[in-house]
Amino acid sequence: MTEGAAGGRGRSTVRPANDDVPMVRAKKPEKSSKSGVKSKAAGNRATFEKRTIALVYDFDGTLSPRPMQEYAFLPQIGVDAAEFWKETNRVAREQEADPLITYMHLLYKKAKDAGVRIDRDDLVAQGRSVELFAGVLEWFDAIGEYVSLRAESQGVTVRHYMISSGLTEIIEGTPIYGRFHNVFASEYWFEAYDMPYPKRVITDTGKTQYLFRINKGVEDLGQTINQHMPEAERPIPFSNMIYFGDGDTDVPSMAVMRKNGGHAIAVHPPGKSKDKCLDLFKAGRIDFFAAADYRRGSDLFKRTCLLIDRMLADIRVQEETWKIARGLK
Ligand SMILES: [Mg+2]
Distance CA 179, CA 63 (A): 13
pLDDT at 24: 41
In the reported structure, the alpha carbon of residue 181 is separated from the centroid of ligand 1 by a whole-number distance in angstroms of 20
pLDDT at 10: 31
In the reported structure, the alpha carbon of residue 61 is separated from the centroid of ligand 1 by a whole-number distance in angstroms of 4
What is the four-CA torsion angle of 284, 286, 291, 293, rounded to 10 degrees?
170
In the reported structure, the alpha carbon of residue 1 is separated from the centroid of ligand 1 by a whole-number distance in angstroms of 7
β-strands 197-200, 157-167 pairing: unpaired
pLDDT at 152: 73
In the reported structure, the alpha carbon of residue 44 is separated from the centroid of ligand 1 by a whole-number distance in angstroms of 41
pTM as predicted:
0.87
Q: Do 100 and 149 form a contact (C-beta atoms < 8 A)? A: no
pLDDT at 191: 80
Nearest to 238 by CA among 250, 253, 223: 253
Question: Within a 10 A sphere around the Cβ of 273, how many other Cβ atoms?
Answer: 9
- Per-10-residue mean pLDDT for the chain, 329 residues long? 39 37 43 42 66 97 97 96 97 96 94 93 96 98 95 86 97 98 95 84 95 97 94 94 96 97 98 96 97 98 97 91 87
In the reported structure, the alpha carbon of residue 132 is separated from the centroid of ligand 1 by a whole-number distance in angstroms of 13
Using DSSP, how many helices (H) and how many strands (E) does the chain show?
10, 7
In the reported structure, the alpha carbon of residue 100 is separated from the centroid of ligand 1 by a whole-number distance in angstroms of 13
Spell out the domains of the chain, with CATH numbers in brackets. Answer: 39-327 (3.40.50.1000)
pLDDT at 6: 40
In the reported structure, the alpha carbon of residue 193 is separated from the centroid of ligand 1 by a whole-number distance in angstroms of 30
Q: For residue 16, what are the β-bridge partners?
A: 2
pLDDT at 266: 98
